[in-house]
Amino acid sequence: MSTTHKQTTLTIGIFFIALTVAILLYAVALINWTLITPVVFVLCGLWLLILGVIRTSQPTRYERSGFSTITLGLIAIAAGSAWFVATINWIYSIAIILIVIAAIAIAAALQHK
């Protein structure tokens, strides 16, 4: 079994764990049912950050780079966080998204330096 296949299977397992955690948070009344999806986004984004670090340490030819995977993780975390915070005030959601976009732009500029 190749490394890519193992990571794909592991990612599917992590997604189901994130979904289970979100449903359990709803079951114990810590979140509303409308916040299940943002919690899944944040948890899967955290996994993408971890997976990006793994890919950075072991790059594979013709595959997505670690930096790209980390960026995708940050976008997933920002989307989930913005959705979660939108229930409080929508201006905070815009601030979260702009901060993440700025951080990704700065990281991309420093990577190509």
Q: Where exactly are the structural domains of the chain?
A: 3-111
Q: pLDDT tens string for the chain (113 positions)? A: 566 677 788 889 999 999 999 999 999 989 889 999 999 999 999 999 998 888 877 777 777 788 888 899 999 999 999 999 998 889 999 999 999 999 999 888 888 76
CB atoms within 10 A of CB 23: 14
Our CA dihedral for 70, 74, 80, 82, rounded to 10 degrees, sits at -170
**The pTM is what?**
0.84
